[in-house]
């Protein structure tokens, strides 16, 4: 059993804490956050909160594992920076894989969060500090770079390469054999049919809504 310090004091930290408490034998001993984000009473979920820049005084690197931040602030760069800072200060990070997943690769990095319903096919690679929220599909021989965040119901087809720091909105996807550049944002509902350059934004414009005609179309389409 490891002692865990979770980075964050918001809703996502609350959610992740429940997963860790319910699905692992680890003990959450405290939380950390940047000084401007610490609660006034320096408590969160009944545990102490320690400012990130003073973490060693309460939770030395040889006594705890870190987990997080669980965030996509600044296009995942905030999460990247805190992970690299933690490593430079001598900390190791936990990777959490929910038991209700289907994982067929051992190439999964440090400080990853993989929630329920994810499928990671053989020969796929998941980098460091990657978040796969619930219900995603990572196809065979695909590579997900460091510090990426996939929300929910994202489909990555086989032999796809995703650059670091990329963010995928819900119900988006990529067809096979494509390359997504670093720092890209794939908007919710978007389907990527071609390679995407670094720092690109792929946007789904939505569907048209026409009012007061559903009964007519229901008869024609649904019978």
Question: So what's the pLDDT on residue 1?
Answer: 86
Question: So what's the pLDDT on residue 118?
Answer: 98
Share of the chain above pLDDT 90, in %: 88
Under 8 Å between Cβ of 49 and 33 = yes
Under 8 Å between Cβ of 21 and 28 = yes
Using the 8-state DSSP alphabet, how is residue 5 labeled? E
C-beta atoms surrounding 102 within 10 Å: 10
Evaluated on CA atoms 144, 201, 182, 5, the torsion sign reads negative
Q: What is the CATH number of the domain that holds 79?
A: 3.40.50.20
* 198, 100: one domain: yes
* 78, 111: one domain: no
Q: What are the tokens at 6?
A: 């979770």
**pLDDT tens profile 92-143:** 999 999 999 999 999 999 999 999 999 999 999 999 999 999 999 999 999 9
Q: What is the CATH number of the domain that holds 102?
A: 2.160.10.10
Residue 78 CA, distance from chain mean position: 13
Parent domain of 44: 3-93
Is residue 217, in this structure, part of any structural domain at all? no
Burial environment of residue 185 by CB neighbours within 10 A (0 to 12, 13 to 18, 19 or more): buried
Using the 8-state DSSP alphabet, how is residue 152 labeled? S
* 116, 27: one domain: no
C-alpha to C-alpha distance for 167 and 159, rounded to whole angstroms: 18
Question: So what's the pLDDT on residue 219?
Answer: 67
């Amino acid at each position: 059993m490891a002692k865990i310090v979770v980075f964050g004091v918001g809703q996502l930290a609350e959610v992740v804490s429940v997963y860790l408490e319910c699905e692992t034998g680890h003990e959450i001993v405290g939380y950390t956050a940047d000084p401007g984000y610490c609660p006034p009473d320096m408590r969160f979920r009944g545990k102490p909160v320690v400012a990130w820049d003073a973490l060693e005084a309460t939770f030395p690197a040889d006594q705890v594992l870190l987990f997080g931040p669980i965030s996509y602030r600044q296009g995942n760069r905030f999460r990247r920076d805190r992970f690299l800072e933690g490593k430079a200060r001598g900390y190791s990070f936990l990777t959490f894989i929910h038991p209700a997943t289907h994982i067929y690769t051992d190439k999964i990095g440090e400080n990853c969060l993989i929630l329920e319903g994810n499928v990671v096919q053989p020969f796929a690679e998941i980098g460091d500090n990657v978040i796969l929220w619930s219900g995603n599909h990572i196809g065979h021989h695909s590579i997900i770079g460091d510090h990426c965040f996939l929300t929910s119901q994202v489909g990555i087809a086989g032999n796809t390469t995703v650059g670091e720091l990329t963010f995928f909105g819900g119900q988006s996807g990529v067809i096979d054999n494509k390359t997504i550049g670093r720092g890209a944002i794939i908007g919710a509902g978007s389907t990527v049919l071609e390679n995407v350059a670094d720092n690109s934004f792929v946007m789904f414009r939505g569907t048209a809504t026409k009012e007061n005609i559903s009964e007519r179309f229901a008869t024609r389409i649904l019978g």
